[in-house]
Amino acid sequence: MWYKKIFSRKKASEAVETAALVAGTSQEAGGESLLGDILYSFRQNKTASIGLCVVVLLVFLAVFAPLICPYDPYEMDLDQQFLRPSAGHWFGTDRFGRDLFTRVVYGTRISLLVGLVPSFIAVSLGGILGVFSGYVGGRTDFWIMRLADVVMAFPSLLLALVVMYTLGATLFNIFIALSLVGWAGAARVVRSQVLSLKEMEFVEAARAIGVRDVVIMARHILPNCLPALIVLFTLRIPEAIMFEASLSFLGVGAQPPTPSWGLLVSRGKEFLFSAPWVAILPGVAIFVTVLAFNFMGDGFRDAIDPYMKD
């Protein structure tokens, strides 16, 4: 059985240590220069650097939101309804007199959380399943890939809608929906890499000296898939942010009074003619954030795989 094959210790522990030492040294030797090359190439890319700066700014806003914002994001003041953008209220106020800038800044926390957490879960899950599928092969590979086929055949937003219908419209369930939708793509990419990696000499050498399959997967194959996983992760973040905003816009994501950007646009659209800033400014926040992450993701991709540049 495949699991016996994986977890069986083929040779003595000394052999394992020797193999790990050999592979570890070689990775270390090559790893440093590769990382240096990637970072150098990333720094050379102007748009990617701009993207990174915007992302750092967004993280700063999210972390220090209570210090930056002069108002409470939930506090209503019906005397201050629909105030135009001014020095007192940079983005104006909404129908309940809440300061829109404050709500947009607090919304950064939700968007970043939704962008990072489900993307991390999806890419990790996809990475592990992809390594497992590609390395073990056979029936395990067949079933994991068929499951990936099924998930990928679904229009992502519709699948997310079905998951939200089933689990209910909460922020936590958005995490689950986005993780379930996103793993398949990562699994496919990683599997295709593993298929060629497992035939390489360093894997063969590790196998020959008796390193267990699970160790080979974890210590020798997975680290070689990390660049691809990092690219997938950074490119997945803007998608996840957009998804959350779309779900919240449709009313099946974050619920009022949560200051989710999608929800802010959705509530603002009713007043598009009389107070357009209520819908338009949170949309600008989504656009800038997604654009920054796209710049950053493209930069990582180009740095890691220069052939993809054009």
Partner 1 sequence: MKKYIVKRILISIPVLLGITFVVFFLLNVVPGDPVAILMKEKASAEVIARVRAQMHLDDPWLVRYLRFLWGVLHGDFGVSYKLQRPVTDLILQAFPKTLVLALSAAIFSWIVGIPAGILSAVRQYSLPDYFFMGFSLTGVSMPIFWSALLFQYVFALKLGWLPVAGFYGWKYVILPAVVLGWSSAGLIARLTRSSLLDVMKKDYIRTARAKGVRELPVITGHALKNALLPVVTVMAIQVASLLSGAVITESVFGIPGLGRVAVDAIKNRDMPLLQGAVLFATVLVILGNLVADILYSFLDPRIRFEKK
The correct pick among 19, 194, 275, 290 for binding partner 1 (CB under 8 A) is 290
Question: How far apart are the C-alpha atoms of 137 and 1, rounded to whole Å?
Answer: 12
Counting other chains too, the contacts that 128-131 makes at CB distance below 8 Å and 24 or more residues apart are 129/183, 129/187, 129/190, 130/186, 130/187, 130/188, 130/189, 130/190, 130/191, 130/193, 130/194, 130/225, 131/190, 131/191, 131/194, 131/217, 131/221, 131/222, 131/225
Site for partner 1 in 150-169 (CB under 8 A): 150-151, 153-155, 157-159, 161-166, 168
226 CB-contact burial (10 Å; exposed 0-12 / middle 13-18 / buried 19+):
middle
Find the shortest distance in angstroms from Cβ 118 to partner 1.
Answer: 17
C-beta of 14 vs 149, nearer to partner 1 = 149
Q: From the CB of residue 97, how many other CB atoms can be counted at a distance below 10 Å?
A: 17
C-beta of 117 vs 157, nearer to partner 1 = 157
Find the shortest distance in angstroms from Cβ 259 to partner 1.
Answer: 16
Stretch that binds partner 1, among 22-30, 78-86, 196-204, 241-249 (CB under 8 A): 241-249
CB neighbour list of residue 308: distance below 8 Å, 6 or more residues apart: 301, 302
> Is 173:256 a contact under the CB 8 Å cutoff?
no
C-beta of 30 vs 306, nearer to partner 1 = 306
Does residue 265 bind partner 1 (CB under 8 A)? yes
Does residue 179 bind partner 1 (CB under 8 A)? no
Does residue 93 bind partner 1 (CB under 8 A)? no
The correct pick among 122, 190, 197, 245 for binding partner 1 (CB under 8 A) is 245
Find the shortest distance in angstroms from Cβ 261 to partner 1.
Answer: 9
The correct pick among 28, 78, 138, 273 for binding partner 1 (CB under 8 A) is 273
Find the shortest distance in angstroms from Cβ 84 to partner 1.
Answer: 16
Find the shortest distance in angstroms from Cβ 144 to partner 1.
Answer: 12
Cα dihedral 180→186→190→191 (10° resolution): 50
Find the shortest distance in angstroms from Cβ 254 to partner 1.
Answer: 14
The correct pick among 238, 253, 259, 299 for binding partner 1 (CB under 8 A) is 238
Residue 235: both structure tokens together: 């490119």
Stretch that binds partner 1, among 95-103, 130-138, 208-216, 260-268 (CB under 8 A): 260-268
Tell me the number of residues near partner 1 by CB under 8 A.
42
C-beta of 215 vs 280, nearer to partner 1 = 280
Site residues (CB under 8 A) for partner 1?
146-147, 149-151, 153-155, 157-159, 161-166, 168, 238, 242, 245-246, 249-252, 262, 265-266, 269, 272-273, 276, 279-280, 283, 286-287, 290-291, 294, 310
